[in-house]
Amino acid sequence: MNWYPSSKKELSEMLSGFVEKSKAKKINGIIVPHAGYEFSGKVAGKAYSLAKGVKSAVVFGPSHYEYFRGIKCLKSAKTPLGNLDSIKNGFEKIDYEHSVQNQLPFLKFIGIKKVLPLVVGDLSMEEARKIAEQFKEFDGLFVFSTDLSHFLDYDTARKTDTNSINKIIALDPKWVDACGINALKIFFELAKIKKYKPKLIEYKNSGDVVGSRESVVGYAAFSF
């Protein structure tokens, strides 16, 4: 599947329409969706628009293609806009995961130089807490990748996603309907350690974007 344009020119033009650099400010991190850019790119762009003055990032995205426990790291951080340097780490490597890969062009576009692109497998809350402790001194942008509800009708999706959004703001993992719940577990624990308070930036679902409302996917962006 083509999640975003492979052409450097086309991708750069698309991202220019998503990211408003005039809104940049100092933030600790963001929570963003990871669908195809034509569906969720504008929502993600609202969050990336706020990132200012950072040169490194760590991305936590859920594993869609392989079951494992813990964390693995993408082998490379390539984008059509150029490659990012991968921060050295001892994690087992994984070839591909779109929840993480789809964040890399945004990071390159906003000026990030180095990235730690982490794919999150199944986690208990205790395991998530230990991972959060490992990253509590990280001085860069935290990026947590998740979509919200999948394949519900429009009205049910909005109701379900509103509940999940409120739970995320309250740092409560119970009853959050999100494919990236394991990545969010790390966020919840990190936010408790660092006293982060997430704020909703934007919510839409695919029905708002493409018009079809019978089966939609929810997208939300937060900053903290």
Does residue 112 lie in a domain region? yes
Does residue 33 lie in a domain region? yes
b vs e for 67-79, b when ≥16 Cβ sit within 10 Å of the residue's Cβ? eeebbbbbeebeb
Confidence check: pLDDT of 24 > 90 = no
For 95-107, how does the pLDDT look when each residue is reduced to its tens digit (9 = 90+)?
Answer: 999 999 999 999 9
Q: Are strands 199-205 and 71-74 parallel, antiparallel or unpaired?
A: unpaired
Residue that wins the pLDDT comparison between 22 and 172: 172
**DSSP track, 154-197:** HHHHHHHHHHHHHHHHTT--TT---TTHHHHHHHHHHHHHHT--
- Supply the range of the domain harboring residue 41: 29-223
Does residue 59 lie in a domain region? yes
Determine the Cα–Cα distance for residues 33 and 146; give it in Å rounded to an integer. 5
The tally of domains found in the chain comes to 1
Does residue 4 lie in a domain region? no
Does residue 162 lie in a domain region? yes
**Strand partners of residue 132:** none
Does residue 56 lie in a domain region? yes
Does residue 161 lie in a domain region? yes
Determine the Cα–Cα distance for residues 135 and 126; give it in Å rounded to an integer. 15
Q: Are 205 and 218 in contact (CB under 8 A)?
A: yes
pLDDT category at 16 given cuts 50, 70, 90 is very high
For 120-157, how does the pLDDT look when each residue is reduced to its tens digit (9 = 90+)?
Answer: 999 999 999 999 999 999 999 999 999 999 999 999 99
Whole-number pLDDT of residue 17: 97
Confidence check: pLDDT of 76 > 90 = yes
For 185-199, how does the pLDDT look when each residue is reduced to its tens digit (9 = 90+)?
Answer: 999 999 999 999 999
Determine the Cα–Cα distance for residues 181 and 63; give it in Å rounded to an integer. 10
Does residue 219 lie in a domain region? yes
Whole-number pLDDT of residue 26: 84
CATH classification at residue 131: 3.40.830.10
Question: Among the residues of the chain, which ranges form H helices?
Answer: 8-18, 37-48, 98-101, 104-109, 125-134, 154-169, 181-194, 206-210
